[in-house]
């Protein structure tokens, strides 16, 4: 029999796209407590079934697919520009491929209007109508409101019609930055992209015995198995070490490790890799917000993901990318870095955060040259001795003073004007296949 939580999720999935819902409505419809309804709605939001939009409320949406992750949706434009929705509510989950600033005549605008685009415009009613009729959503800047005629067209075409108090230049800047951010997000691999789902996962019930574990372990590529309750809620994990010397009839519940480390679908692979390396885990359970087992992630999955990331072309520059572009490798395992205005603080000296990133990126580059590409910086102690001024040329000298199969320790010296300006000790965890 399905739990109340599962019944609520099914009810939400049955609602048409664009339907508004609330905690009170769900609680009344399914005769459950408002607390139960709230928790289910939050999970539905995390799963992409519903979305909460400012000044609109919670609405049933179409599930977002992975191939559109690089595109912004009109709903996200509403949040970015703190806008108000006037019409075309059902089109908020549509994606936009470009935005156009309508600083031209209506006749000239026709060359630039296309479907899946956003027209940013002021209080020009004819231009607003023209954009909607040719398949473009409309964002009205300057705090102006649309007429009822334009609202009716937006509803008919199912194209969002929104307005914001910001000026056109500010809005264009905000959306352009958001598009860059989306490209960066696309490069961040998350657990949901690589984990093994439940139907292909081997796991045990807490009422199973050590004998069941041994039979399961015979044909498995790993020796760690999640342990679940009768409702598939994760309650522990069992390993070969736990069952050594135990009789076959002993219940798994007696030997398992309770409250094990686990991952959730929205977590980044980097954060999970850090935990798995540090604790020496070959497998980690993946759970929902309700701690229901939905799959596992293995060290092999992590390795494949990190190798895939290294092959991806850069689409959007992060701060790390920008700093890395300023680092040049010279002879004798040395690196140079020029202090530019963008890397300084308001005193004209290099920012401590930038210096930390320079050291980190140098360590990555140094170890990559030694074919140690799969690594995570675990710890860094950075000491700043002398001020590093704008325009200075830095020489960074990393050297490994301790290394084993799982970790490496490096001493990093930073010279400015031939003087030792900073020194760091960096500890890295190396990812190895098991």
* pLDDT score of 382 more than 60: yes
**pLDDT digit string, tens, across residues 120-136:** 999 999 999 999 999 99
Which of 1.10.10.10, 3.40.50.970, 3.40.50.620, 3.20.20.100 would CATH assign to domain 4-60?
A: 1.10.10.10
Rounded CA gap, 139 and 121, in Å? 6
Predicted confidence at residue 432, as pLDDT, reads 62
pTM of the model: 0.46
**pLDDT digit string, tens, across residues 16-60:** 877 888 888 888 888 888 888 888 888 888 777 888 776 667 877
* pLDDT score of 388 more than 80: yes
Provide the residue ranges of all domains of the chain, joining segments of one domain with +: 4-60, 66-186, 192-307, 319-430
* pLDDT score of 67 more than 60: no
| Position 238 confidence tier, pLDDT thresholds 50, 70, 90 | very high
Rounded CA gap, 301 and 196, in Å? 9
| Position 252 confidence tier, pLDDT thresholds 50, 70, 90 | very high
DSSP 348: S
Return mean pLDDT, the chain: 84
* pLDDT score of 116 more than 90: no
| Position 313 confidence tier, pLDDT thresholds 50, 70, 90 | very low
The topology under which CATH files domain 319-430 is Thiol Ester Dehydrase; Chain A (3.10.129)
Angle, vertex CA 45, rays to CA 44 and CA 47, nearest 5: 65
Superfamily of 192-307 according to CATH: CBS-domain (3.10.580.10)
For the domain spanning 66-186, the CATH number is 3.40.1390.20
pLDDT mean over 110-118: 85
pLDDT mean over 141-157: 93
* pLDDT score of 309 more than 60: no
* pLDDT score of 381 more than 90: yes
Least Cα distance to 55 among 136, 149, 165 occurs for 165
| Position 317 confidence tier, pLDDT thresholds 50, 70, 90 | low
Percent of the chain past pLDDT 70, that is, above it, reads: 90
**How far, rounded to the nearest angstrom, does the alpha carbon of residue 170 sit from its chain's CA centroid?**
26
Rounded CA gap, 284 and 260, in Å? 8
Q: Which of 133-147, 259-273, 310-324 has the lowest mean pLDDT?
A: 310-324
**pLDDT digit string, tens, across residues 157-180:** 999 999 999 998 888 888 877 776
CA atoms within 13 A on the CB side of 8: 29
**pLDDT digit string, tens, across residues 191-233:** 888 898 988 888 999 999 999 999 988 878 788 999 999 888 9
């Amino acid at each position: 029999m399905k739990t109340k939580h599962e019944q609520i999720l099914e009810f939400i999935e049955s609602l048409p796209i664009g339907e508004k819902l609330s905690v009170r409505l769900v609680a009344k419809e399914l005769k459950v407590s408002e607390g139960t309804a709230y928790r289910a709605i939050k999970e539905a939001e995390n799963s992409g079934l519903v979305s909460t939009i400012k000044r609109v409320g919670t609405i049933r949406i179409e599930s977002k697919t992975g191939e559109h992750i690089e595109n912004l949706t009109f709903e996200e434009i509403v949040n970015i520009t703190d806008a108000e929705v006037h019409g075309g509510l059902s089109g908020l989950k549509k994606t936009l491929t470009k935005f156009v600033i309508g600083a031209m005549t209506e006749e000239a605008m026709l060359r630039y209007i296309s479907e899946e685009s956003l027209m940013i415009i002021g209080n020009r009613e004819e231009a607003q109508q023209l954009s909607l009729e040719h398949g473009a959503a409309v964002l009205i800047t300057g705090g102006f409101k649309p007429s009822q005629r334009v609202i009716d067209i937006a509803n008919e075409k199912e194209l969002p019609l929104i307005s914001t108090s910001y000026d056109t230049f500010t809005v264009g800047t905000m959306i352009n930055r958001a598009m860059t951010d989306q490209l960066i997000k696309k490069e961040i691999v998350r657990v949901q992209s690589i984990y093994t789902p439940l139907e292909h996962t081997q796991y045990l019930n807490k009422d199973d015995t050590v004998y069941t574990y041994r039979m399961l372990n015979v044909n498995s590529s790993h020796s760690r198995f999640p342990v679940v309750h009768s409702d598939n809620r994760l309650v522990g994990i069992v390993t070969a070490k736990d069952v050594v010397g135990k009789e076959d009839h002993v219940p798994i519940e007696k030997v398992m490790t309770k409250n094990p480390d686990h991952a959730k679908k929205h977590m980044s692979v980097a954060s999970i890799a850090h935990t798995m390396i540090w604790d020496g885990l070959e497998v980690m359970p993946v759970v929902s917000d309700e701690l229901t087992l939905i799959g596992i992630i293995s060290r092999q999955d992590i390795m494949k993901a990190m190798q895939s990331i290294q092959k991806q072309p850069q689409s959007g520059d992060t701060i790390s990318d920008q700093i890395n572009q300023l680092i040049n490798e010279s002879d004798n395992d040395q690196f140079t870095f020029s202090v530019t205005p963008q890397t300084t603080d308001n005193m004209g000296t290099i920012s401590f955060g930038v210096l930390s990133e320079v050291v980190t990126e140098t360590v990555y580059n140094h170890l990559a040259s030694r074919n140690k590409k799969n690594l995570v910086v675990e710890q860094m102690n950075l000491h700043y001795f002398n001020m590093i001024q704008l325009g200075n040329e830095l020489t960074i000298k990393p050297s490994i003073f301790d290394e084993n199969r799982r970790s490496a320790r490096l001493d990093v010296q930073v010279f400015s004007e031939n003087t030792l300006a900073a020194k760091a000790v960096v500890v890295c965890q190396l990812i190895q296949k098991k």
